[in-house]
Structure 1
């Protein structure tokens, strides 16, 4: 459905944090709004603008119009979002909002006035711009409702007391119940705690105050306890997930097959041809997202575990430093049983009938994509919110297993090959794996129901459109009175 551009349409400015796990759901939300007639101006930072423009080809094919603008980022030349992610994260949290303010003034002069700003929670300074310009704001929170509830608890209810991550201590959070120390986000513990990451994330929760909406890439049925907790705490939660292209979720638009703006070229044809040659539910798909750095030592443990499992696998190994080779001759040893690529069309892979499991770092975006495809998961949580996502995936949704870590003599923590082999066989070959697949399919259907007409997320998106359109009408009325 083509987006409307009528003078009476709401005009929403969208500002995403420049990392795939943030821009992908934001792009999909923008597509959903534009398809309902909302005028969207998607704003990116100068160093990342070229990548965002790649999404325009996808949008043109769908008949959806989104305007693309950029603002200065004040970052040094040659910055790379993957290798310099923490530096970019730190700097984009505190930049001057005057460039965004100037852009909005220009948009107000050249077209319909801006009636709402949707922005990533990792850029809290946007709140000052919206307050100054008297424009309603929507905070787009790219982590789970469960993680938001944990941070909210330790921001407003209970003060965090530093504990050892591997201790047997538990904390009780009303929205969730008992949480073991290893299941909390890793920023509660050194070294991320001492680096100030907990303080930063607790401060992000403050950005919920004064927001008209807090947008979550989740749905009410998926995280009901955490979502109800936040709503009871007067957080204006608006669940709009799963934010997945239509072809892989509600099937309404078969042409909507990708987010757009991928950071790397996807090896689509090779992946699909190889998957087509494999039996149903026989392939382990292995990918650790666009940011996680996997050591050569860990790569070799994964390689040996996959090889020993004797199961088919499709493995994404990004061409970054230290992530180029498992060991010499590995490709020849595995033969046609395995395929290694630098980047894959993840949604197409996960929804292919031959895929039987997803070995993932359990970042929220990947977790939502795996769940929405109905694929059981092998959780190799690394850091940040991933341990919590993995806990919920295993203990609440019961659609996967968590791999145990081993403490090495040098202090490093590794998923060892025999644990990988055991868990792969457990999910692909056993009766337990069949039950996990059954549960995963249940959540896939729940995600689909939420986004269909009458579903919770569909209703929330429609309500959001009505509310920003109502503000547009109020704004026009006030201007006419002047």
Structure 2
């Protein structure tokens, strides 16, 4: 039976690694503050998650599943992205309702659904069942603001203006906008989904965003005038921030097995600030030519580097590169690594990143300057902020094919590791890191917002 007096939050994730991570961390915060929490993902995603050795902090969080209609293969089994979304949007609400009914029958009635905003139908389920409904925005306030404007017809796509002005944001060029807005032809299914996340948001009791107020103050302030928005991030393991959740050093669930011991041992043998860490996340498929240029630039820089190249991407590396790297002892190439532990290591002085929002928040929280090489989705907008707003990184130019040259990779890496501008970026990164820690500490802006959310989990 559910403990009397404790609210029960069901937290629904969109089924990718980058969405499970922040929502799982939010679950840990809610549980630490006394709530019952059930994390929900799809059956296929749940079958493929590895539980890491440091998952003790999430052990008390129940995990359950719904169906996306493709239980044996997920999105890869669907005929198209459109077909996946159509089926998930039909099957998801039905199985979510069934799960909530099951939980009620077993003595664990749900009071609130916190849902990934990519799945707006979950709010309809919440309202039909008389539950509190809270949208959870896994991307930045700035990116969400762009999609909101597209949804309302205030920003027309494809974008024709050479400069775009949006409330609370710096002036954007079209290429600074999310790729789904800038290039609607290549991503019709995704732009439909991302804009549709705001289709019923006015019915939400809460809108929670994975950022911290001080980081995006102007755009967050504007969004609070139109939505019941609260910033509750950064949602990264507590031991890297306020240390209130003892043992919380990893997210807890992963689709990939990291080479933790090899990575950390290698880093510990390098001098402080000398290593460039390179990773493009769990989804982005980087062009073979770009990987070749990255390899050339890293080699030319003569800096130590740790490079994550997923198994599915390894064939794109130049022939003999891994062996040459190993023999020179200048670098280490692995298929996956414990990114937080790597970024927190004193040896790391630079992060070459695709600027996914999780990676960007982790680097900011741990005080690591970045070389921004965005690939798609929200990454160009995040890169714009990294370089021009937060001033914690460099963005090398791309050629007409969208490729960053090895020479420019070399220039940016050396500038951050060895140059004067790199020192300034490091100082700025340390400032944002301090503010991130303050935001989630007791009484900080994000902590207060989570307390307010919990205090108001009565009847919707």
CA offset digits 1:47-96 (Å, max 9, x no partner)? 112245726x644x337511121122211633466999946556434534
* Alignment-derived partner of residue 358 in structure 2: 365
Q: 1:314 aligns with which of 298, 306, 313?
A: 306
RMSD across aligned positions (CA): 2.3
Q: Is the 8 A contact 1:138 1:211 kept in 2?
A: yes
| C-alpha distance 91-351 of structure 1, shift in aligned 2 (>3 A) | farther
Superposed displacement of residue 298, structure 1: 1.4
| 1:217 aligned residue (198, 210, 223) | 210
Question: For 1:83 and 1:442, how far apart are their aligned partners in 2?
Answer: 45
339-348 vs 39-48, greater mean Cα deviation: 39-48
Which residue in 2 is equivalent to 1:123? Answer: 119
2:53 maps to 1:72: no
Partner SS state of residue 151, structure 1:
helix
Which secondary structure does the structure 2 equivalent of 1:97 belong to? helix
Alignment of 1:49-198 (within 5 A): 49-52=46-49, 54=51, 58-59=54-55, 61-62=56-57, 64-75=59-70, 77-79=72-74, 86=81, 88=84, 91-156=87-152, 158-163=154-159, 169-192=162-185, 195-198=188-191
- Residues 372 and 91 (structure 1), Cα distance of their counterparts in 2 relative to 1, 3 Å cut: farther
Matches within 5 A, 1:195-206: 195-206=188-199
CA contact (8 A) 1:18 1:81 kept: no
Contact 1:11–1:39 under 8 Å retained in 2: yes
Looking at structure 1, the residues matched to 189 and 428 of structure 2 have their Cα atoms a distance apart, in angstroms, of 38
> What is the TM-score of this pair, normalised by structure 1?
0.90
- CA–CA separation in structure 2 for the residues paired with 1:91 and 1:294: 29
Q: Is 1:300 the equivalent of 2:275?
A: no
Aligned to 2:453: 464
Give the match's secondary structure for 2:311.
Answer: coil
**Paired residue for 2:201?**
208
What is the deviation of 1:289?
0.4
1:434 corresponding residue in structure 2? 423
Call closer, same or farther: CA 1:153–1:302 in 2, change over 3 Å.
same
Where does residue 16 of structure 1 map in the other structure?
A: 13
Give the counterpart of 1:384 among 377, 387, 392.
377
SS in 2 for 1:209: helix
Aligned to 2:235: 243
- Per-residue deviation, residues 86-112 of structure 1 (Å, max 9, x unmatched): 465564345341211111112112123
Distance 1:221-1:63 versus aligned 2 partners, 3 A rule: closer
Of residues 334, 344, 348, the one that matches 1:341 is: 334
TM-score normalised over the length of structure 2: 0.94
Instruction: Note closer, same or farther for the CA distance 1:82–1:307 as it changes in structure 2 (3 Å cut).
Output: farther
Gaps of 5+ in 1: 475-482
1:478 paired residue number: none
Q: Is the 8 A contact 1:34 1:64 kept in 2?
A: no
CA 80–162 in structure 1, closer or farther in 2 if over 3 Å, else same: closer
- Aligned match of 1:479: none
2:435 pairs with one of 446, 451, 457:
446
User: The residue matched to 1:388 in structure 2 has which SS?
Assistant: helix
Q: Do 2:209 and 2:233's aligned partners in 1 also have CA atoms closer than 8 Å? A: yes
Residue 50 of structure 2 contacts residue 254 of structure 2 at CA under 8 Å; is this kept in 1? no
Report the Cα distance in structure 1 between the residues aligned to 2:360 and 2:269, rounded to whole angstroms.
Answer: 26
| Native 8 Å contact 2:51 2:253 kept in 1 | yes
| Aligned residue in 2 for 1:226 | 219
Question: Is this contact kept in 1: 2:68–2:74, CA < 8 A?
Answer: no
Count of aligned residue pairs for this structure pair: 457
Stretches of structure 2 that go unaligned for 5 or more consecutive residues are none
Q: Indicate conservation of the 8 Å contact 2:43/2:65, yes or no.
A: yes
1:431-455 superposed Cα distances (whole Å, 9 cap, x missing partner): 1001000000000000000000110
Change beyond 3 A, Cα 1:176–1:464: same
Deviates more, 1:204-213 or 1:92-101: 92-101
